A and B are shown apart, each in its own frame.
Chain A
Amino acid sequence: MDLILQQTVNALALGGTYALLALGLAVVFSIMGLINFAHGELMTIAGYVLMYCGLAGIPFAVSVPLAVLAPMLAAMAMERVAFRPVRNASGATMLVTSFAVAMILQVLFQNLISARSQPVILPDALSQSVTIGGLIIGVNKLFAILATIVMLIALELFMKKQKHGIAMRAAAEDFAIARLMGIRANTVISAAFALSGLLAGVAAVLWVSQRASVDPLMGFTPVLKAFIAAILGGLGSLRGAVAGGFVLGFIEVFLAAFLPSAWQEFREPIGLSLVVLILILRPNGLIPAATLQAQKV
């Protein structure tokens, strides 16, 4: 029983990180039909900001906001430079563009920073643990779960109550009509990228706090997982992205914990098979987007 609870905490921490990443992908996809594979590099940027801040002795309370701000700005720059020119192109063109952006950034990290993994100095508190009701929980896990909850609530309030959040949902549903209301295409797309950068930044802080290192390919695996989570939840659906992220987190953590050791090497394919099974039962994902076709500008 304790083991299950313990693993549930782990699954919530990992799933929450996937959920934040999947949300970032979904926000952009819902508005412009782009699957941004360079989302992972936004994470990596945040990771390097944490690394340099650690080296410079900047306190964590300052380096975290910086690590979140940097990918926001990077995402907006990415949109302006790389994605705006292909905004009206096909989904395939945009996808290839995002691969190109990802690769260019990876090469830049490798050549300007280091091809190897770099340690990130983190506050000692993160590696300690607390005992809650008999459970020993790592502070970094607790931090991840709390940060995820705060982010999800903040995002929900923004999307439901804020004029600009509502405009984003309107644009995701019918971009042409949203523009007819005076919602500017450039503004709403730029805001979607900023939001995805923010989510990638928070996810990166959580990811790095579990691993204390950063390398040029750091973002690749989590964003691939987030992509799977987004599809699992229903591509373009924000609630789906959250649900998909948590489900994937639970699948991975529980397989790692309870699969017989002889089977452990097949953990990933077994996990993916479960995802495929869910998609066979629910082809449009757990919580499909209300408008399946993403309207383009």
Chain B
Amino acid sequence: MSPLLKLEGFKLRYGAVEAVRGIDLEIGTGEIVALLGANGAGKSSTMNGIAGLAPVTEGKVYFDGNDITELPSEEIPISGLTLAPEGRRVFGTLTVDDNLRMGAYAVRDNTSIDASRQHVFDLFPILAERHNQYAGTLSGGQQQMLAIGRALMCNPRLLLLDEPSLGLAPRIVEQVFDLISTLRDQGVTIFLVEQNVAGALEIADRAYMMASGQIIREGSAAAMRASDDMSAAYLGEH
């Protein structure tokens, strides 16, 4: 079976800064794949490049066999791929409901939007309780839930999550990881950036390790858990 997402020679540069220096990776349908690495390794750049938030300098991105490298970010959710970006970035001046409504902007079918909304409220009952509140007044953890919920509103087949556990209390972090597993069971393929390596490797099937814009290791999550150069990559000793 062909992979759901495939990067080939993927490079991303900001002016003189080479954030990603040519990586290849594949994600199969139904997998949870983690992307690990120290600060500044180029993880967010990879995510943003895939989702069209930052322009890809060189190489190709294939989603479901289609070349989406040049597709503008506004076309991407329609194809079934979305990103919950680093730092939550919920619309603080919009209510929870309206944030979710915007998440479903690309969806035309109203019954499907209602179903997704109900699905998000089932996953995060606190959002149902706060549905009329401005997102800017939610707690950090609630905003993270909203960011994930908003991403789910377009019924993605592939969900990119950039540090979903950042800044959350340990108990909530566990909930987020449980949720990611649940989503996979519901048929969503997940590509996950995490600083919480142990947590990520526990739920992931496979993982890639990045350093200085390159992939320095890849393998099954189990093999990665067992290896000892994980900490080295995190301390930036590569």
- Interface contact B92-A179, CB-CB below 8 Å: no
Selected from B51, B82, B91, B98, the residue in CB contact (under 8 A) with A174 is B91
Selected from B74, B136, B150, the residue in CB contact (under 8 A) with A179 is B74
Q: Does chain A have a CB within 8 A of B138?
A: no
9 A-B pairs in the complex with CB atoms less than 8 angstroms apart = A166-B101, A170-B94, A170-B102, A177-B85, A177-B89, A178-B102, A181-B77, A182-B76, A182-B154
Q: Does chain B have a CB within 8 A of A167?
A: yes
Q: Does chain B have a CB within 8 A of A155?
A: no
Chain B interface bracket (under 10, 10 to 19, 20 to 34, 35 or more): 20 to 34
- Interface contact A182-B94, CB-CB below 8 Å: no
Q: Does chain A have a CB within 8 A of B39?
A: no
Interchain CA distance A246-B82 in the complex, whole Å: 43
Given contacts A169-B93, A180-B53, A181-B154, contact A163 B101 (CB under 8 A): yes
Selected from A169, A176, A184, the residue in CB contact (under 8 A) with B94 is A169
- Give chain B nearest CB distance to A66 CB in angstroms: 33
Chain B residue with Cβ nearest A161: B98
Q: Does chain B have a CB within 8 A of A81?
A: no
- Interface contact B91-A185, CB-CB below 8 Å: no
Which positions in A face B, CB cutoff 8 Å?
163, 166-167, 169-170, 173-174, 176-185, 290-291
- Give chain B nearest CB distance to A30 CB in angstroms: 10
Which positions in B face A, CB cutoff 8 Å?
51-53, 72-78, 82-83, 85, 89, 91-94, 98, 101-103, 105-106, 136, 150, 154
- Interface contact B73-A170, CB-CB below 8 Å: no
Interfacial chain A residues near B103, Cβ < 8 Å: 181
Number of A-B contacts (CB under 8 A): 68
- Give chain A nearest CB distance to B110 CB in angstroms: 11
- Interface contact A167-B102, CB-CB below 8 Å: yes
- Interface contact B73-A166, CB-CB below 8 Å: no
Given contacts A181-B154, A182-B106, contact A173 B101 (CB under 8 A): no
Q: Which 3 A-B residue pairings sit nearest by Cβ, starting from the closest? A: A182-B106, A182-B77, A179-B74
Interfacial chain A residues near B74, Cβ < 8 Å: 179-180, 182-185
Selected from B82, B94, B102, B150, the residue in CB contact (under 8 A) with A183 is B102
- Give chain B nearest CB distance to A172 CB in angstroms: 8
- Interface contact B91-A180, CB-CB below 8 Å: no
